[in-house]
């Protein structure tokens, strides 16, 4: 569940940054979506941390916060102020990583914890749908490129999560 906490906190930090830096003709819809996303990530993160504490799972909150900040900063680029498509591509990859972390965390947990984790995955999948719809609104030839890039980044994010787990074992 530690990896899930990191993924959620990273998404929260990244979405909050994107919320504050969004501009352009899609400002109002992007600002609204991102303004709803970052507190949702924060709430899910808080639930994961409290569940870990309640189940006596040893977690280091400073370690989680540092790892999340590092992961969030990977997605933030100098173009974030002018390229919201890049932000949404990165956020889509983060959502895929959240679902991969849920898949990894769910095995061997109680019914209640499985239900809790499935709720996180369900909410993530709804946000993924909205992000894909947003990326379809990209003009002209960029449309398919944006979705292709989002899917590639998502696959890379899931693969890096898998590699980190293998290294930990």
Cα-Cα end-to-end distance for the chain: 15
Burial-class residue 110 by CB neighbours within 10 Å (0-12, 13-18, 19+): exposed
Is the Cα torsion angle 127, 71, 80, 97 positive or negative in sign?
negative
Residue 100 contacts by C-beta under 8 Å, 6 or more apart in sequence?
157, 158, 161, 162
The chain-wide mean pLDDT, for the chain, equals 85
Q: Token match 């994010």: residue?
A: 157
Domain edges within the chain: 2-168
20 Cβ neighbours under 8 A, 6+ residues apart: none
The pTM for the full model equals 0.81
| C-alpha to C-alpha distances, 162 to 3, 23, 35, 39, 122, nearest whole angstrom | 10, 34, 30, 27, 21
CATH number for the region 2-168 comes to: 1.20.1260.10
Tell me if 150 sits within 8 A of 93, measured CB to CB: yes
pLDDT of res. 80: 52
Chain segment 78-124, per-residue pLDDT in tens: 545 556 888 898 999 999 999 999 999 999 999 999 999 999 999 99
pLDDT confidence of 24, banded at 50, 70, 90?
Answer: confident
């Amino acid at each position: 569940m530690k990896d899930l906490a990191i993924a959620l906190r990273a998404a929260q930090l990244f979405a909050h940054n994107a919320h504050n830096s969004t501009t352009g003709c899609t400002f109002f819809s992007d600002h609204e979506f991102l303004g709803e996303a970052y507190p949702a990530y924060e709430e899910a993160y808080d639930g994961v941390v409290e569940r870990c504490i309640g189940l006596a799972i040893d977690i280091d909150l400073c370690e989680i916060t540092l790892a999340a900040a590092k992961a969030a900063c990977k997605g933030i680029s100098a173009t974030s102020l002018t390229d919201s498509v890049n932000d949404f591509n990165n956020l889509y990859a983060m959502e895929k990583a959240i679902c991969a972390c849920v898949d990894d965390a769910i095995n061997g947990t109680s019914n209640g914890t499985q239900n809790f984790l499935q709720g996180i995955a369900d909410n993530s999948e709804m946000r993924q749908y909205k992000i894909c719809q947003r990326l379809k609104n990209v003009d002209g030839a960029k449309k398919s490129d944006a979705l292709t890039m989002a899917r590639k980044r998502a696959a890379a994010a899931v693969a890096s999560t898998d590699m980190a787990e293998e290294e930990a074992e």
